Amino acid sequence: MTNNSTNQDNTKTEYQEMVCLIEEAKKFYLSAPVIAKEKAESALNLAKQLNDYPNIAVAQLLIVLSYAYSGHYKESISAALENIAFIHQYLPENINILSNTYNVAGAMYMQVGQFQKALNILFTAAAVESPYMSDIQNNIGCIYMEVGNSEKAIEAWQTALKYTDKEKDPYRYMATVINIVQIYLRQGANENARQVFNTIIDIVEKAEHDEKANFNIYIDSLNVFGELCRQEKKYDAALEILNRSLELAQAKEMIHGYCFGINTIAKLYFDKHREIDAIEILQEGIQYADIHNIHGVKKSMLEQIIGHYKKTDQHAKAFPYLEQLYEMSQEQMKTSREKDFEAIIDEREREIQVLESKNQEIEKHNTILKQFTHIISHDLREPVRGINGFANLLNKKFKDKLGETGEEYISFILSETGNINNKLARLLEYTSLKKPEKNQIRSLSIHEIIERQKQQFSLIDKLDIIYDDTCLEMEYDHADKLIYELIDNAVKFRKEEQYCRIEISGESKNAYQHIYVKDYGIGIAEKYQQRVFKIFNQLDKQTKGAGVGLAICERIIELYKGRIHIESVAEEFTIFRFSLPDINSEFI
């Protein structure tokens, strides 16, 4: 009797411990999934010892959920399939646990990009009425959104809302509404997105202080809200919301929410031309996604970086990220026979081929440019020198016989050959400009640059150059050439009988230097402002020059991945504004 009583007491104690562990795992699987998994595994071992089939299924489901919310999607799928097989064998009548396990398995297949498997398993779950119908329809909608079928996605989410009570289950309701908002954001329908989001704004505002809050859904809502504000160009509000999302996601170990937030902040940085910050946070996100095997988010981040480098013609920098995408595609091919993955690999290979082709074109162009520079230096200038020499000789030996008209013709020939020679010399300057060596770039003060050039403008009367302590981060030759050409342009187009006043100032902002060069000369009419940077494009044929100076300025700035534009009012002023990345920028 004593032994039986002891055994019963032990069994009762083990049962109570198992129930306690299950309740703790339920409490933590959303906010602390790693802890929840440990609790659930301990509960599972006790349930197996007790042959308690219902609690084996519950504990196994909690392990599935813990893997899911910690971003271990493959492990979650494996545990879910094991649980489904167990329930079919031992608990076929337990529809609730079976439906929930099917639902999580479908959601995890979606996360790893196996959409058809996800739909098959979710349609199986939806065939039977259960308390999880809202979640099941929600996930079906998410898959349709991923494959680009917005109509079916909205249809599924509308079905999900029919099964959701906003008052009793606000977070499930919020999750569905968030998905609808995302559809509108993808379509650029910001007004619709804002209108729909406002239906849950009260839940969002209360969530952070709600002890029963579903923080996974709450963090998703913050990320979507941040993206909505970004698209509405409310950047400060968006950044505040997204930073809060990242803090919560880290604190609660919500891996997917954290990556989503990083992705959206990067888009915001690109919007605000903070390219360096955007690349840095995406690189951090890629490493994080890699560690936790979140392939979909990693792919999106890689594509953001590749898109930026392609847009800015930095094809070489895109290569490492394209290779990562290519490797991801190959890995997907190993785990799936679906033709969709073959198409992805083909697409990546085509992109790599395009980039290789562009690099070959650049190399070919550089070779042609070197040949062209040699032609300008020697072949083209030689006959011009010959014509000039013979014209001088003709003028010297036969001056008395040429007459007034002949002398005029000779003078014209000498003037035009001089003009051609000047244009060729300036063209040689333009084509000889080379990309800066990063180790040769220095921070050069405007004062230092102006002092070196004073002698070149010493014969100009009434020249007044005013400048602050701005610095240019360039090679010496490039900085001297750029400032010289801008001053020379101001001098050429100054107003007669007036001081030529030039103001140079600048500031450093958002990892860029912004420089302003202003003169009070004759100005440029608006209709001509787009033409001034074109080579040999002289607006005033009477003014001496080759029409190359401003083209040289633009070329120098482009070599530093900068931008230049003009503001001018005829007969009043002209401002040349240019922006250059800071010296430590990876864009130089």
Distance CA 153, CA 183 (A): 9
Q: Are 175 and 258 in a shared domain?
A: yes
Helix (DSSP H) and strand (DSSP E) numbers for the chain: 23, 7
Q: Which of 31-45, 99-113, 341-355 has the lowest mean pLDDT?
A: 341-355
Over the stretch 330-363, which tens digit does the pLDDT of each residue have?
776 665 555 555 556 666 776 777 777 777 777 7
Tell me the mean pLDDT in the region 322-327. Answer: 84
- Rounded mean pLDDT of the chain? 84
Flag whether 303 is in a domain.
yes
Residues 405, 425, single domain; the answer is: yes
Tokens (6 digits) for 289 = 């996604």
Least confident of 85-89, 209-213, 224-228: 209-213
Residue 360 phi/psi, 5-degree rounding, is -65, -40
What pLDDT, in 10s, does the model give residues 46-67? 999 988 999 999 999 999 999 9
Q: d(Cα 473, Cα 482) in Å, to the nearest integer?
A: 12
| 157 in a structural domain | no
368 pLDDT higher than 80: no
Q: Is 154 exposed, middle or buried (0-12, 13-18, 19+ CB in 10 A)?
A: middle
| Cα separation, 402 vs 282, whole angstroms | 76
Residue 542 has pLDDT above 60, yes or no: no
Q: What is the pLDDT of residue 238?
A: 93
Q: Are residues 445 and 574 in the same domain?
A: yes
What pLDDT, on the 0 to 100 scale, is given for residue 377? 62
Domain boundary residue among 307, 322, 349? Answer: 307
148 domain residue, yes or no: no
Looking at residue 5, its pLDDT comes to 56
- Report residue 587's pLDDT band, with 50, 70 and 90 as the boundaries: very low
Domain shared by 568 and 456, yes or no = yes
Please tell me the predicted confidence (pLDDT) of residue 340. Answer: 54
Give the span between the Cα atoms of 226 and 240, in whole angstroms: 8
528: DSSP letter:
G
Task: Tell which wins on pLDDT, 375 or 225.
Answer: 225
Maximum Cα interatomic distance, the chain, rounded to a whole number of Å: 146
Mean pLDDT of the region 215-232:
90
In a domain, 526, yes or no: yes
Contact 579, 563 (CB under 8 A): yes
Helix axes 399-431, 339-374, angle to 10 degrees: 150
Residue 3 lies in a domain: no
Residue 585 tokens read as 């920028």
Alpha-carbon span 119 to 108, nearest angstrom: 11
The whole-number pLDDT of residue 583 equals 72
Read off the pLDDT of each residue in 456-483 and give the average, rounded to a whole number: 84
**Residues 505, 564 within the same domain:** yes
Which segment of 19-33, 304-318, 363-377, 457-471 scores lowest on mean pLDDT? Answer: 363-377
* Domain at 277, CATH number: 1.25.40.10
**Residue 416 shares a structural domain with residue 462:** no
- Residue 474 to residue 81: CA distance in whole angstroms: 61
Using alpha carbons, list the distances in angstroms from residue 466 to 454, 470, 489, 503, 570: 13, 12, 16, 5, 22
**Pair 203, 229: CB distance under 8 Å:** no
Question: Which of these, 261, 249, 308, lies nearest to 285 by C-alpha position?
Answer: 261
442 and 564 assigned to the same domain: yes
Residues 575, 479 within the same domain: yes
Cα 566 → chain centroid: 28
CA 130 from centre of chain: 42
For 65-79, the pLDDT digits (tens) are 999 988 888 889 989
Q: How confident is the model at residue 392 (pLDDT cuts 50, 70, 90)?
A: confident
Q: Where is average pLDDT lowest: 171-175, 331-335, 432-436, 473-477?
A: 331-335
Q: Model pTM?
A: 0.41
pLDDT of residue 461: 67
Residue 11: inside a domain: no
pLDDT at residue 346 in the model: 62
- Overall number of domains in the chain: 3
Which pLDDT does position 89 carry in this prediction?
Answer: 86
Instruction: Yes or no: say if 517 and 588 are a contact pair by the CB < 8 Å rule.
Output: no
**Confidence (pLDDT) at 326:** 82
Shared domain for 570 and 448, answered yes or no, is: yes
What are the tens digits of pLDDT across the range 247-302?
988 888 888 888 889 989 999 999 998 999 999 999 888 888 888 877 777 888 88
3-state secondary structure of 584: coil
What DSSP string runs through 350-373? HHHHHHHHHHHHHHHHHHHHHHHH
Model confidence over 156-208: pLDDT tens digits?
998 888 888 887 888 888 888 888 898 889 888 899 899 989 988 888 888 87
Q: Can you give the length of the chain in residues?
A: 588
The answer to whether residues 485 and 552 belong to one domain is yes
pLDDT at 327 (0 to 100): 83
CATH classification of the domain holding 450 = 3.30.565.10
Residue 42 lies in a domain: no
- Residues with Cβ < 8 Å from 492, sequence gap 6 or more? 543, 544, 545
- How many beta carbons lie within 10 A of that of residue 61, not counting itself? 25
The count of other CB atoms within 10 Å of the CB of residue 185 is 19
| 269 and 208, same domain (yes or no) | yes
Residue 575 has pLDDT above 90, yes or no: yes
Strand partners, 568: 574
Q: Among 307, 327, 348, which residue terminates a domain?
A: 307
User: DSSP secondary structure string, 143-160?
Assistant: HHHHTT-HHHHHHHHHHH
Do 496 and 381 lie in a common domain? Answer: no
More confident residue, 132 or 373: 132
Other CB atoms within 10 A of residue 157 CB: 26
* Residue ending a domain, choose from 375, 400, 431: 431
The domain containing residue 545 runs over which residues? 438-581
Residue 483 located in a structural domain: yes
8 Å CB contact between 195 and 217: no
Q: Which two tokens stand for residue 541?
A: 């044929």
Measure the CA–CA gap between 503 and 511, rounded to whole angstroms. 23
- pLDDT, one tens digit per residue, over 480-533 is 999 999 998 888 888 876 778 899 999 888 778 899 999 998 888 888 887 888
Percent of the chain at pLDDT > 90 equals 25
Percent pLDDT > 70 in the chain is: 91
